[in-house]
Amino acid sequence: MKINILKYSVLVLFCLSAFKSIGQNNSNKNIILIITDDHAYQAISAYNDRFAKIAPTPNIDKLANEGVRFDRSYVGNSICAPSRATMLTGKHSHLNGITTLKEKFDGSQPTIANILQKNGYETSYFGKWHLKNKPVGFSNWDVLIGQGDYYNSDFKTEEGITRSKGYVTDVITDKAINWLDNQREKEKPFMMIVGHKAPHANWLPPVKYLTSFEDVEIPEPKNLFDIHSSNGLGTKETDMTIEEMPMGWYCQLWTEKKEQPNRYEDLGGSLWKRAYGRLSIEEKASFDKVFNAENESFTKANLKGKELIRWKYQRIMKNYLGCIKSVDDNVGRITDYVKKAGLEDNTLIIYASDQGLFLGEHGWYDKRMMYEEAFRTPLIAYCPSIRTKGVVSKQLVQNIDYAPTMLDFAGIEIPSEMQGESLMPIIKNKKAKNWRKSLFYQYYDYPGGHDIQKHQGVVTKRYKLIYFYEINEYEFYDLKKDPSEMKNEYSNSKYKKAISELKKELIKLRKTYKVPTIES
């Protein structure tokens, strides 16, 4: 009898212990931040109807429809590494130390990772890192080297470098789910960042989506042929028009003719060869089958002017949207796992991109500028336990807000040096009192990619002022009357008062954010 009682007691204690562990796991406030690269808000069907019918994003849309979609979400510096540093630190570029693609990130400064780690969180990072240093503050990390590759990419961990077979978006998600399921300490709360390479150029879709848009005519933006008649040199002299874009890297024109060996030997051609070289024999055969005949037809057509622009636009957009389909699939894989694992109610899932992207708007195809398509970025927050559903926020928010939001959600004090604000009041209550009325922007990388002049700016609910400070040029837009930013109204006397107010606001923001003085 004593033995039976002992066995019973051990069983009860075991069950109570297991129940306690499960209870701790289910009550933990967990965080998953999914960061894509160059995912334009225009290419999420919850945001825009331009591609909604031909390229829906059902899994991302579900997060938006059941959570909070931020429609006025922006970055502080529209380029990859600076934006990611801002997300980690809650500070603008000039204070976090990453203003261009050249600097090395200082991981010893307060970041969302090391603060949560010190407060008992298990932290992890998978995918694109792009900050030139070893990730600090993460108990587990497995990251791409530099930009990485779409197929069979190399990953770096504490143990060294290994090559992971498969399509990069799938592989990154595999690593993330494996950590959630098998590697983390499940009694601890966790914060996991999933950093996707996609849909960054050179827009290589997975083989299964190579023909997804084969017979589809991709809708063109109304300003595809913008001639920038009201703009100055800061806009006109940029090097990112679709008309002038290199064919090899961006358009996947890798077929070389012996009689014309240098036909596609332009900027990016070698990068395309690198990407193509990563494919297996079977994958190359699939790519050749899809693209070779079309490439041959294009070469014979010898297109010029608008017809060349249209051809390039169709090619890059079909490849870009193929990458997006894979991103959406893998967002679904993560959210499905979270739900099946019983973690959904207390896990905050944030979906964002490191910046937006021009998808033909203004005739452009990159980012960096303070125009809406590059400056603005998707941001979606989802957590069932907060009970906010299907909310669309018009508040002005920025990537300096991500770190404070995650700390606030976790119940951890936000360091005073962080420059952002927690978005939790908006997520919980649909709006926040005394919220900011303007946002600051600064781009530094000149001379640099695409010849984008250095510029600062301020945006409010209605107006935007852009200042190219090294060439002393201004642009001013009325976003209510001109949401596509087609007419620079800086010389319009009707806006004299509004322009004056925005100049004062820009000075105020420089002071607020401790921005070093610029010389014009």
Neighbours of 134 (CB within 10 A): 13
Residue 434 has what DSSP assignment? Answer: T
Residue pair 245/466 in contact (Cβ under 8 Å)? The answer is no
Closest CA to 199 of 380, 409, 43, 424: 43
Residues 70, 391: Cα–Cα separation, whole Å: 8
- For 173, how many CA atoms within 13 A lie in the half-sphere containing its CB? 21
Peptide bond into 199 cis (omega under 30): yes
Helices (H), 411-480: 424-429
Is the N-terminal amide bond of 447 cis, ω within 30° of 0? yes
User: 65 near 47, Cβ under 8 Å?
Assistant: no
Residues (pLDDT < 70) of the chain are 1-27, 249, 254-272, 519-520
Cβ–Cβ under 8 Å, residues 167 and 151: yes
Residue 57 CA: distances (Å) to CA of 46, 60, 219: 8, 6, 17
- Token pair 């991302």 is at which residue? 60
The label of the residue with tokens 């931040």 reads 33
Tokens of 465: 């002022």
Report angle CA 487, 488, 494 to the nearest 5 degrees: 100
Task: Give me the pLDDT at residue 254, please.
Answer: 52
Phi first, then psi, for residue 30 (nearest 5°) are -100, 155
Q: What is the rounded distance in angstroms from the CA atom of residue 29 to the CA atom of residue 325?
A: 30
The 8-class DSSP code of residue 167 comes to B
Write out the H or E segment, with its range, that includes residue 58. helix 58-66
DSSP letter string, 421-478: ---HHHHHHSS-TT--SEEEEEE---SSGGGPPPEEEEEESSEEEEEETTTTEEEEEE
Domains of the chain by start residue, with CATH? 29-204+322-434 (3.40.720.10), 454-512 (no CATH)
Q: Across the strands, what pairs with 465?
A: 458, 476
**52 Rama class: left (phi>0) / alpha (psi -120 to 50) / beta:** alpha
Burial class (CB in 10 A: 0-12, 13-18, 19+), 148: buried
Query: What gap in Å lies between CA 342 and CA 314, rounded to an integer?
Result: 42
Q: How far apart are CA 246 and CA 110, in angstroms?
A: 40
Q: How do strand 73-74 and strand 397-398 relate by DSSP bridges?
A: parallel
Cα–Cα distance for residue pair 409/392, rounded to 1 Å: 20
Report pLDDT for 275.
Answer: 80
Strand order in the sheet with 68-70: 160-163, 154-157, 140-144, 122-127, 190-195, 30-36, 347-353, 379-382, 68-70, 391-393
Residue pointed to by tokens 């195809």: 365
- Is the peptide bond preceding residue 483 cis, with omega within 30 degrees of 0? no
Tens-digit pLDDT profile for residues 390-402? 899 999 999 999 9
Count other C-beta atoms under 10 Å from residue 516's C-beta: 8
Strands 30-36 and 347-353, by their bridges, are: parallel
- In this prediction, residue 363 carries a pLDDT of 97
3-state SS string over 325-338? HHHHHHHHHHHHHH
Structure tokens at 339: 């739900």
| DSSP 8-state code for residue 311 | H
66 closest CA partner among 394, 402, 331, 385: 385
Give the integer Cα–Cα distance in Å for 469 and 455.
6
pLDDT, residue 358, reads 98
pLDDT for position 125? 98
pLDDT tens figures, 303-341: 999 999 999 999 999 999 999 999 999 999 999 999 999
The DSSP symbol for 364 reads B
Closest CA to 392 of 61, 32, 76: 61
